[in-house]
Structure 1
């Protein structure tokens, strides 16, 4: 198949990468796993046995209403937590092959919905927000836009950083969450070739 390149001749690409079947369940699994992997997992609470303070029974067993042992019990303000959270990993295992299939599926669906645009280059040589705004207007993209370059330079990052909902990544930093959360994805022709090498 061919992808239209704005301002240049069409680019021949693999059907396997940009014409794959939509697999919503797999995409959901990969997105959830990616987000879970970014969680710190450092939350910690004290259980009843870890609280500081006396363990002395503060009143007699009978004759005073409810029976209590000490003030460290979870029922009291300042007491321990019943099922105390402890530091843990939220990581979910996703096979490399499944991850690549999900990325292919996302890219293919973006292409089918005309939300995937390919350019020969961004042409941003100076770190000027004005130049980036003009480029986006030329490409007719709005909303949440993801720019993917083969080797995003500093000028490109600086030109984009003051524009809301615009993100610049290189091919190595491409991830399912960024792709799914974007209204438009703009790739350079060189980035398309690198993605093909990675996903083919």
Structure 2
């Protein structure tokens, strides 16, 4: 299949694989991969003290009978300052996702973006100086708005600096492409070289 290249000297297109940019949208798989990617980013460092780990005396503070409720010591979870019932401990939230499934989800997202007209390809971004004004003009030329993701084969410092003051605009190197950024974008703009690298990765 062909993807039109915007801003080329003459009307041109780039040949891409149907497998990568034309596959069916698999919602369940995409959801699984996005959730797993976000879960892997969780710190999992929460820690609380259980009753047995609390410091303090274990002496029974009142007699067993005749005083109402029966209690052992003040470290019980029912008391303020006591231990926590089912105390949280450091853990990993990572979920296993096979490499084949991960790549299939990325292909599915890219293909759906293409079908919806939210995927654009450019020869290059043409940002040589870190100027916000130049980036705003480029976005207007591309007719993209909202949450925009720019993906380059080798994102330059000038490109990052030109984009950092524009809300909801993100710049990624093609090697950092991930399902969360793709799903959260209203428009995705790729360079021709980035498209080629993505095909090498996902084909």
Rounded Cα–Cα distance in structure 1 between residues aligned with 2:176 and 2:34: 15
Q: Is 1:157 aligned to 2:155, yes or no?
A: no
Rounded Cα–Cα distance in structure 2 between residues aligned with 1:70 and 1:28: 48
Q: Is 1:76 aligned to 2:95, yes or no?
A: no
Partner of 1:7: 7
The partner residue of 1:178 within 165, 181, 185 is 181
Q: Is 1:33 aligned to 2:46, yes or no?
A: no
Rounded Cα–Cα distance in structure 1 between residues aligned with 2:179 and 2:144: 20
The partner residue of 1:107 within 107, 110, 131 is 110
The partner residue of 1:93 within 70, 91, 96 is 96
Q: Secondary structure at the match of 2:149?
A: strand
Please list every run of at least 4 consecutive aligned residues from structure 1 whose deviation after the TM superposition is greater than 6 angstroms: none
Rounded Cα–Cα distance in structure 2 between residues aligned with 1:7 and 1:183: 20
Partner of 1:18: 21
Q: Is 1:126 aligned to 2:120, yes or no?
A: no
Q: Secondary structure at the match of 1:10?
A: strand
Task: Report the CA distance between 1:7 and its aligned residue.
Answer: 2.0
Partner of 2:45: 42
Tell me, which stretches of 5 or more residues in structure 1 are unaligned? none
Rounded Cα–Cα distance in structure 1 between residues aligned with 2:6 and 2:84: 59
Q: Secondary structure at the match of 1:91?
A: coil
Q: Deviations over 1:139-186 (max 9, x none)?
A: 011110000000001000000001110000011000000000000000
Structure-1-length-normalised TM-score: 0.99
Provide the alpha-carbon RMSD of the alignment: 0.5
